Amino acid sequence: MENPRLAKLKKYMEIKIRSIAIRDPLIFEMEREYLFGIDFSKDSDIFYGINPPNHFLGLITNDGFDKCNLVCRLLGWNKEDENELYTFRILKANIDEVVDFKEEEEYIKNANKYISK
C-alpha cells in the first residue's frame, strides 16, 4: 500500500510509506545510489508515530504512545536511487487504541502459522 490515505488503517496492518511522509528519516552513509535494504527485527524497537498537530510520521519512544493517533513499528527500509520506502506494522490505528506488545506477539505467532503452511 503506497498511500495510506486511500484505505482505513487497522491495527497490525503492514504499510509501506515513501520517505516524503517521514519527519525523521533514517540516515545511512552510502557512496553511490544503489538498491539497498534493511529488515529490522521485532526486537529493534524503532517506533514511528503521528502526534497531532503533526501529519508526518516521526520517531517516538514508548512513553509517547498514548499521545499519538498512529503508532507503527519499523519493519524494513529500502533505498533505490533517491527513493526511500519504509515498511511498518501498525500497533495503534487511532487515539482510543493502546499498544499491547503481548497481543502483538500473539498476532505475529498466529500470522506465522498461516504463512508457513
Residue-number span of the structural domain to which 108 is assigned: 4-116
* pLDDT value of residue 29: 67
Strand partners, 84: 79
What pLDDT, on a 0 to 100 scale, did the predictor assign at position 5? 54
What is the band of 79 on the pLDDT scale with cuts at 50, 70, 90? confident
User: Could you give the number of structural domains in the chain?
Assistant: 1
Mean pLDDT across the stretch 61-77? 92
Identify whether the C-beta of residue 60 lies closer than 8 Å to the C-beta of residue 52.
no
CB 99 within 8 A of CB 107: no
Nearest CA-CA partner of 55 in 86, 20, 80, 89: 20
The residues that bridge with 37 in the sheet, in sequence order, are 78
Average pLDDT, the chain: 83
The arithmetic mean of pLDDT across residues 84-106, rounded, is 92
> What mean pLDDT comes out for the span 63-78?
92
Query: What is residue 111's predicted lDDT score, i.e. its pLDDT?
Result: 75
pLDDT band, very low/low/confident/very high, at 25 (cuts 50, 70, 90)? confident
Written as one string, the DSSP assignment of 37-91 is EEEPPGGG--EEEE-TT--SBEEE-GGGGGG-SEEEEEEEEEEETTEEEEEEEEE
pLDDT, residue 51, reads 87
pLDDT at position 14: 92
pLDDT band at residue 93 using 50, 70 and 90 as cut-offs = very high
Which one-letter DSSP state was computed for residue 18? Answer: E
